[in-house]
């Protein structure tokens, strides 16, 4: 039995080679298309999802695995490991965090840690606030436990930014660190990470910005740059054309990190033909130590549409 294992769901984008090498368990989230349920990465591919976005009568939507499904995953993993850490997508964008927490509460004999819950938690949970100046004392309490521990973290990110937090957890696990130190490393990675997204079309955020705004934005060829801030996807800048939007993302990252070194995750919404050029711009404009390229994932692609781009980053400590 190894001490700790990493659990993620398919909304978190993490290099497939690394998940396989490190034995990371991935829960495929449900995707609803015209009344039928599929599982991301299992029964529906990114290309099929994008095709459904463009042709289905109703916009495809992602859903949340049931509480019992989470409990089943935890039970199986605890047969081979003492602890589980699970960074989830932002609880403001998805119900995964809450469902995963409730599923953990059903595991007999396990302690449950919730990192950055948005609401107060019951006696069954041990809450850790990453902004709490006394966080060190909370982690010291976890270090004393002998019971199996399940950590569910609200990453306040999505896609590759959540993946960067998960990769830091994976590194700490691979080094054999105790669960309290793994949690500390995840929180530190969260503080040093971010993600910017550029939309290829405004069509799929019509509910968010309104039909008239979408029409005018499309007419003027506006390319909004969005940022994940405090768990929500909000406007960071409005640009004219994709080239300007890509340059703006790089500029915003540089401002955030002060020109310091980063790890970069270049993400695309089924647009591999754009990746080479954008990656070259990122490598030229930023001090990139390690980089990866991947599909952005269905949870974000449902807003960007085909051809969207994103840049997730983590400041190098």
CA neighbours closer than 13 Å in the CB half-sphere of residue 75: 11
CB neighbours of residue 49 within 10 Å: 25
Per-residue pLDDT, 216: 37
DSSP run (H or E) holding 52: helix 46-55
193-315 matches 2-29+64-191 in CATH topology: no
Q: How many Å apart are CA 77 and CA 71, to the nearest integer? A: 10
- Please report which helix (H) or strand (E) contains residue 308, including its range: none
Q: What pLDDT shows up at residue 53?
A: 78
DSSP 113-170: EEES-SS---TTEEEE-TT-TTHHHHHHHHHH--S-EEEEEE-S--HHHHHHHHHHHH
Instruction: Give the end-to-end CA distance of the chain in Å, rounded to a whole number.
Output: 31
Q: Are 282 and 266 in contact (CB under 8 A)?
A: yes
**Which pLDDT belongs to residue 214?**
37
Give the CATH number of domain 2-29+64-191. Answer: 3.40.50.10170
Continuous segment of H or E residues that includes residue 75: helix 67-78
Architecture of domain 193-315: 2-Layer Sandwich (3.30)
Dig out the tokens for 218 from the structure. 């499309």
Q: How many CA atoms lie within 13 A of 248 on its CB side?
A: 21
Query: Which of 82, 83, 84, 185 minimizes the C-alpha distance to 135?
Result: 185
DSSP category for residue 200: S
Residue 116 CB: number of other CB atoms within 10 A?
21
Q: What is the pLDDT of residue 205?
A: 52
Q: Measuring CA to CA, how many Å separate 108 from each of 69, 71, 96, 149?
A: 15, 10, 21, 11
Count Cβ atoms below 10 Å from residue 51 Cβ, excluding itself.
16
Q: List residues bridging with 7 in a β-sheet.
A: 25
The single-letter DSSP state of residue 95 is S
pLDDT in tens, the chain (317 residues): 579 999 999 999 999 999 999 999 999 999 988 889 999 888 988 888 878 877 887 878 888 999 999 999 999 999 999 999 999 999 998 999 999 999 999 999 999 999 999 887 778 899 999 999 999 999 999 999 999 999 999 999 999 999 999 999 999 999 999 999 999 999 999 999 999 998 876 565 544 433 334 333 443 467 888 899 999 888 888 888 889 999 999 999 999 999 899 999 999 988 889 999 999 999 999 999 999 999 998 877 777 778 889 999 999 98
Domain residue extents for the chain: 2-29+64-191, 193-315
Q: In Å, how far are 41, 82, 111, 140 from 145, measured between CA atoms? A: 36, 11, 8, 9
Nearest Cα neighbor of 292 from 6, 89, 8, 17 is: 17
Query: Cα(302)–Cα(127) distance, rounded to whole angstroms?
Result: 32
Q: Which of 63, 78, 81 is nearest to 27 (CA)?
A: 63
pTM to 2 decimal places: 0.92
In this predicted structure, what is the pLDDT of residue 1?
A: 59
């Amino acid at each position: 039995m190894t001490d700790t294992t990493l659990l993620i769901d398919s909304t978190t984008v993490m290099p497939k080679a690394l998940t396989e090498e490190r034995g990371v368990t991935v829960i495929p989230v449900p995707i609803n298309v015209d009344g039928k349920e599929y599982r991301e990465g299992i029964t529906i591919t990114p290309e099929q999802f994008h095709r459904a976005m463009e042709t289905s009568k109703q916009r495809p939507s992602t859903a949340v695995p049931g509480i019992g499904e989470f409990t089943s995953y935890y039970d199986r993993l605890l047969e081979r490991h003492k602890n589980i850490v699970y960074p989830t997508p932002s609880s403001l964008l998805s119900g995964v965090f809450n469902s995963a927490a409730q599923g953990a509460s059903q595991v007999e004999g396990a302690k449950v840690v919730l990192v950055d819950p948005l609401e107060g938690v019951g006696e069954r949970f041990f809450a850790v606030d990453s902004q709490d100046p006394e966080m060190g004392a909370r982690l010291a309490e976890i270090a004393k436990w002998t019971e199996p521990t399940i950590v569910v973290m609200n990453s306040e990110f999505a896609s590759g930014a959540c993946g960067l937090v998960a990769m830091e957890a994976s590194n700490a696990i691979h080094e054999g660190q105790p669960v309290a130190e793994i949690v500390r490393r995840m929180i530190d990675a969260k503080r040093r990470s971010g993600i910017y997204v550029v939309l290829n079309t405004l069509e799929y955020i019509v509910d968010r910005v309104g039909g008239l705004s979408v029409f005018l934005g499309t007419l003027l060829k506006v390319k909004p740059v969005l940022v994940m801030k405090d768990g929500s996807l909000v406007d960071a800048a409005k640009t004219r054309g994709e080239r300007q939007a890509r340059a703006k993302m790089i500029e915003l990252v540089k401002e955030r990190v002060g020109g310091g070194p980063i790890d970069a995750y270049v993400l695309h919404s089924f647009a591999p033909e754009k990746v080479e050029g954008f990656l070259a711009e990122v490598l030229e404009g930023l001090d990139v130590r390690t980089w990866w390229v991947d599909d952005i994932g269905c949870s974000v692609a449902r807003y960007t549409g085909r051809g969207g781009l994103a840049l997730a980053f983590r400041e190098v400590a």
